[in-house]
Structure 1
């Protein structure tokens, strides 16, 4: 039985609240779980102590039995110093896409044409 330490969503519409649970990976997201380890309230400010609360001892136990945390839970565990999270680097993420580059080139070309037309009109007016 493969175990995951993951989030189960609670709360109402547009007011998310998550429980940190240990569950079989085949169980539904908000369905059956083995143990509730804590909770995460993303609506609270990031510096709030109540934003992420979980039982570190139980999390250590489940990690030692082979439970795999999801990406978000791994981030919480790394902040608490229980595990290490590998740094991710995506240098292409900040680069604009193909269409954005085309739009920028088209915009620049129109600006150059307008500047040339304005300069031509100014030259004719000064004669």
Structure 2
């Protein structure tokens, strides 16, 4: 993470549409998993969209992807709901994605937006988990 080409400040302004973005993705994959997770967490408040684009390229394990998803559900603001669905549902699979989302304690606004952009799947999943 000490590579000066890829400081948080430099990466935060990226959109993932240029050659340098391929280099960022390759660099990220070359980091130990703990550093990848740390970098993505630190990038989140600076550019959550780019963090979510990088998660798909980060080659994390299923457990690490689930961990990041849970973390970002808890710390993310409601404006991230649509991007979380767009980027994590393909990574985790639809069923697992909504299962995790229904288990997490979300802010009321985040729950509302997740349900809205998820076309009611959050509420239907949550109701299915009730005894």
Higher normalized strand content (fraction of residues):
1
Q: TM-score, normalised by structure 2?
A: 0.29
Q: TM-score, normalised by structure 1?
A: 0.30
Specify the structure having the higher radius of gyration (Cα): 1
Higher normalized helix content (fraction of residues):
2
